[in-house]
Amino acid sequence: MNPRVLGWLMPVICISLAVIALIYQAGNVLAAQSVFRAAQVTLSQAMSEKQAMPQTQRLKDRVGVDQSASEEPRFLAELYANAARRGVKIQKLTFEVLDYGPGVNLSRDSSISPDDALKLQGIEQKTTNLVVRGQYSNLRSFLRDYTSAPRLYTIRNLKWKVDDADNEVTVTLSRYVFIPTEGKVSTEAPPS
């Protein structure tokens, strides 16, 4: 083949291949843009549905569980199982319950305004004061299980004491339970 023809033919072939590659990539970009637009529409619909959902339902999806007679025994069973799994010993356990809503005495929890308490109506804060002992890494793992749980737990008043062999942690662990607006669920057995 004539070298002159080959000199003209090679750049034309290279440019043609580059054009084909660009057209292929442009198709990929257009396909990605259509997927992105569809995702935006889906997200927009989900956000609209979320905004239409009552605030209490939105809060309920993230915060707590419905009140039932089995909620506290289930929590305690999980607490003791978690302690055993992490090699931690529960030394002391006490409980408090705080209801939110109109007419509730908020003197125990002054960080909540009456307006906020009204928004939290129907939620009960169940607080567990714990004293636990164990090795440092085990205690950290035990507490991390509650900070990373799917259910909302709040940890307050954390005090750490170090002894010769063990560590002692005093902590307030709170969980949240939804109560019916017409009143609390009875935990007593019905009369037979």
Q: Which two tokens stand for residue 117?
A: 């308490």
> What's the pLDDT tens digit per position in 99-133?
665 555 555 555 667 676 666 777 788 889 999 99
DSSP 90-124: EEEEEEEEEE-STT---TT-TTS-HHHHHHTTTEE
- Give which of 188, 179, 185, 143 is closest to 64, Cα–Cα: 179
The pTM of the full predicted model, rounded to 2 decimals, is 0.56
> What's the pLDDT tens digit per position in 74-93?
889 999 999 999 999 999 99
Q: Give CA separation, 124 vs 82, 86, 117, 148, 177, in Å.
A: 23, 28, 11, 21, 5
| Average pLDDT of every residue of the chain | 80
Q: How far apart are the first and last CA of the chain?
A: 106
